[in-house]
Structure 1
Amino acid sequence: MIFWKIIYNLILLPLLFAMFCTGSLFLEKIRLGMIGRFRSYQDLKSFMERTGTGKTIYWFHASSHGEFEQVKPVLAGLKEVEPLSFSVVSFFSPSGYNHVNDEHIDCKIYLPFDFPWLIRKCLNLVQPKKIILAAYDVWPNLIWVSRSMGIHSALFAAQFSEGTSKLSPVIRNFYRNVYGSLSAIYTISEQDNKRLQRILHPMKRPIVRVLGNPRYDQVKQKSDNFTTERTESVLLRPKRLIAGSIHTEDEHVILDSIVNLMRDIKDLTLVWVPHEPSDRIVSEAESFFQLKHFTTARLGLNNPDQIETRVIIVDSIGKLSQLYWDGQVAYIGGGFSSGVHNVMEPAIARLPVFFGPYHKNFNEAKELIADGGGFSIENGTALYEGIKNLFENRVTFIKASYAATEVIHRNLGSATRVVRNLIHD
């Protein structure tokens, strides 16, 4: 372990820090994160002055807004069991820090820089009972220093994809020292568990359990706000395609096929949701669809049913999970670039879900495909043919809709299991 601590702290971490400093000169997202990290200790100090010493504090960490969807039901469950406890939630990305507002968060910060002296300083200040990490954003010094201070650290919703680089000889040795310093790791599936055991071998530490993905519970909880108002069959909704979390790479593949679908299916409308709905990106989408002779409107504060244009363009964040309940079929972006985004939200809304080929790291996408509720496409033609087939075959559509929702219901209960084990392990 000493070898890897030296390599990480004297070579890898300084290189990473230099890259972030350079990137902050050109990219606002990186710059915001850097500025936020410089004030994290002061934010923690202010929180502790308000809270006082001797309190039970849990420190949660999520990389971004998406990963907080896994944290949220666990955080709520823990607060229910220990109502007098406090929670610190740290984020790596501005998308989490800027857009997550939750009643159960007592202190929200950017994750401090992973320098060992700074991590120790922050942990000495807060004295958390446990550090709880979501999914994959594991920072070595945070784990190593926690262990040296006797602070319990747990990673939940852990996922290890087939062919992960963490199983290659040198990288595996590094991660064995990192994961082996955690107190507990809760994986999503048995396959994840087996890959983790290969990384850890021959270490006997930490506690490892298969507890599922709490994100299913969060998706179900959010959907409960809409299901009472939308008990009718998905086929009774408007014939509408919801294109959610669209990246530039998705546009290159699917735009022409969506235009052809809308020309061939005259009553089909579209809700277009850019991953980052800046004014420039929204304006470009408006121009594209108008050039194709489709009427467009920005969603603003309206509901889709209040707008009669063929294309509705979403110009703000935080609305996508509700919009799925106003459609019949969904395409989810990211599958031609960084990896497919949240396919659970359209699935719980009973929508057959289409997405690109980069989904191998997402168990929920693989389950949807296996059950017939999700469809991976390699090109725009496959999207055109797949959606047209669903609209032309009622039985096929209903089967896909049911299969999508069934995947969610089959995986519920993970948040409760995670909370139970966090308390007892």
Structure 2
Amino acid sequence: MKPALPDPLPAKSFFATWFSHFSYNYLILPFLYIGLRLAAFFNAKIRRGIAGRKHLFERLEKKLRPFTSRESTILIHAASMGEYEQARPVIRELRRRFPELCIVASVFSPSAYDHIHDRSEADVLTYLPVDFRHQVRRFLDRVQPMALLVIRHDLWPNLLWEAQRRGIYTMLLDASVHRGSLRHRKLVRYFYRQVFAAFSAVCAISETEL
């Protein structure tokens, strides 16, 4: 049985959407990527993460091949080991209720990938690619999920915006924003309002987080 999901929410105003996409793709993301590449010279974990993403799409396509006959696919993203532990009961429940689903789990952290690799409840474990639009599109073309579930706070705007554009149901689970978070700052809050607008549903840990 295929799970029934409501339609994703519509996008917000054109200007807000354009400004968020432009600032992220032409200012924020390039700066973050350059910083990541520079930091890799001094941080072995970052180097492992970069190396682990080489030939990502070829490996992903090979891993998905045995599940092409499955009725549909759900993608669950967890940044690191802690978030993946929170995802485990969700994966187990999906497996129990919808055994015909192909469940793909993505992680960002190389430590999480190495630790989970041989004991993942998901059918496929993969790195999430860097959040450039062309890589996100290629990733979603491979996975073709009917739904994207994100655990906690690892929000990658292009992934969410592209999922929304494709009509993929997106849900944020165990959402929380602590009081000292930069996301409370006015400009940052304005940007993240457009990111959160891409979600079809947000499940917060308490009413105070909404």
Instruction: Determine if the TM-score, normalized by the shorter chain, exceeds 0.5.
Output: yes
Q: Any conservation in 2 of the 1:20–1:34 contact (CA below 8 Å)?
A: no
* Match of residue 158 from structure 1: 175
Residue aligned with 1:77, SS: helix
* Match of residue 423 from structure 1: none
TM-superposed deviation, 1:166: 1.3
* Match of residue 21 from structure 1: 37
* Match of residue 58 from structure 1: 74
TM-superposed deviation, 1:62: 0.6
Distance 2:68 2:192 in 1: 36
Distance 2:155 2:56 in 1: 18
TM-superposed deviation, 1:39: 2.6
Distance 2:156 2:69 in 1: 26
Q: How does 1:177-196 map to 2 (within 5 A)?
A: 177-193=194-210
Residue aligned with 2:65, SS: helix
Alignment of 1:4 onto 2:4: no
Residue aligned with 2:131, SS: coil
Letter in structure 2 aligned against 1:190: E
How many residues end up aligned between the 2 structures? 193
Letter in structure 2 aligned against 1:56: S
Alignment of 1:89 onto 2:105: yes
* Match of residue 172 from structure 1: 189
TM-score, normalisation: structure 1 = 0.44
Distance 2:138 2:32 in 1: 21
Q: How does 1:243-392 map to 2 (within 5 A)?
A: none
Structure of higher CA gyration radius: 1
1:380-403 C-alpha deviation (Å, 9 max, x unpaired): xxxxxxxxxxxxxxxxxxxxxxxx
Relative to 1, partners in 2 of residues 1:40 and 1:190: Cα closer, same or farther, differing over 3 Å? Answer: same
Where structure 2 has 5 or more consecutive residues not aligned to the other structure, the ranges are: 1-16
TM-superposed deviation, 1:126: 1.5
Distance 2:24 2:55 in 1: 24
TM-superposed deviation, 1:111: 0.7
Alignment of 1:136 onto 2:153: yes
1:195-222 C-alpha deviation (Å, 9 max, x unpaired): xxxxxxxxxxxxxxxxxxxxxxxxxxxx
Residue aligned with 2:104, SS: strand
* Match of residue 31 from structure 1: 47
Q: 2:96 aligns with which of 55, 77, 80?
A: 80
Q: Any conservation in 1 of the 2:74–2:145 contact (CA below 8 Å)?
A: yes
Distance 1:14 1:162 in 2: 28
* Match of residue 121 from structure 2: 104
Q: Any conservation in 2 of the 1:130–1:152 contact (CA below 8 Å)?
A: yes
Q: Any conservation in 1 of the 2:81–2:112 contact (CA below 8 Å)?
A: yes
TM-score, normalisation: structure 2 = 0.87
Residue aligned with 2:202, SS: strand
- Cα RMSD over matched residues? 1.4
Residue aligned with 2:53, SS: helix
TM-superposed deviation, 1:50: 2.6
Residue aligned with 1:3, SS: helix
TM-superposed deviation, 1:103: 4.7
Residue aligned with 1:60, SS: strand
Distance 2:128 2:79 in 1: 9
Distance 2:119 2:150 in 1: 17
Q: Any conservation in 1 of the 2:64–2:124 contact (CA below 8 Å)?
A: no
Where structure 1 has 5 or more consecutive residues not aligned to the other structure, the ranges are: 194-425
